[in-house]
Amino acid sequence: MEKQNWSGGALLAPVPPVLVTCGTMENPNILTVGWTGIINTIPPKTYISIRPERYSYTKIRDSGEFVINLSTTALVRAVDFCGVRSGRQIDKFAATGLTPLPASKLKCPLLAQSPLSLECRIFEQIDLGSHSMFLADIVAVDVDKSLIDHSGKLHLDRAQLLAYAHGEYFSLGEKLGTFGFSVRKKPYYTHPTTQASRNRSDSKSGYGHSKRNPKTGSKNTSVKKIAKKQPKA
């Protein structure tokens, strides 16, 4: 594959175009953020990077908290709208028909229409250049009950999550595997025609069958059953 060399650029893709809620239930705001991700598992930590000129920047910095709400294909218009309109001039909740809900651990709201929300409390801010990064602890997770089965397992594949790549929105496609599937041992498989041929060969050779001694009528213990080793996966 021939490649062309460019100067460094922010071309990581796809990324999750999340809806970040901040402020209070009395004065909420919502914005779209593409620069986000998990930075640690135990304890769970995340980040968002936003431009200081954004209306929500001061609200998030001063309150020390925000909520990351996963977006879905049904929310794609709201996601785009909240990324190009400012809360300084418009109530984006009213304009999009979205609904703020009280969070369990924070004063800022979460989004009712999101299938999963991460309640985040900031522990550090890093000014990087065009963006400021807010590092945060994930103090609570709010999940749509319809995504949880009777055994308590979460099925995010049912949420129809949204992805963003180089200025375009995409729905997630078909599932291609699960974590660790590439090294998981596969069950030994023998094609039916191969197995039938093997059985006929065994029948002719006497393998797999007990022969009787023609003089005594007893089973001949000198004929042993031969089992071929299964190849390793």
pLDDT over threshold 50, residue 221: no
pLDDT band (50, 70, 90) for residue 211: very low
Share of the chain above pLDDT 90, in %: 77
pLDDT at 133: 98
Q: For residue 85, is it within any domain? A: yes
pLDDT for position 185: 83
pLDDT of residue 189: 55
Model pLDDT for residues 134-165, shown as the tens digit of each residue = 999 999 999 999 999 999 999 999 999 999 99
Host domain of residue 159 = 18-171
- Residue 22 pLDDT class (50, 70, 90 cuts): very high
Tell me, letter by letter, the H, E, C secondary structure of the chain: CCCCCCCCCCCCCCECCEEEEEECCCCEEEEEECCEEEEECCCCEEEEEECCCCHHHHHHHHHCEEEEECCEHHHHHHHHHHHHCCCCCCCHHHHHCCCEEECCCCCCEEECCCCEEEEEEEEEEEECCCCEEEEEEEEEEEECHHHECCCCCECHHHHCEEEEECCEEEECCCCCCCCCCCCCCCCCCCCHHHHHHHHHHHHHHCCCCCCECCCCCCECCCCCCCCCCCCCC
In this structure, is residue 102 part of a structural domain?
yes
Any domain includes 155: yes
Q: Tell me: the pLDDT tens digits for 51-110?
A: 999 999 999 999 999 999 999 999 999 999 999 999 999 999 999 999 999 999 999 999
* Alpha-carbon distances, residue 62 vs 86, 108, 125, 230 (angstroms): 18, 12, 11, 64
pTM for this structure? 0.79
On whether residue 199 sits in a domain, the answer given is no
How many domains does one find in the chain?
A: 1
Whether the pLDDT of residue 50 is over 70: the answer is yes
- Least reliable range by pLDDT among 37-41, 183-187, 193-197: 193-197
212 in a structural domain: no
CATH code, domain carrying 151: 2.30.110.10
- Residue 231 within any structural domain of the chain: no
* Residue 66 counted as domain residue: yes
Q: Is residue 28 part of a domain?
A: yes
For 181, other C-beta atoms within 10 Å of its C-beta total 9
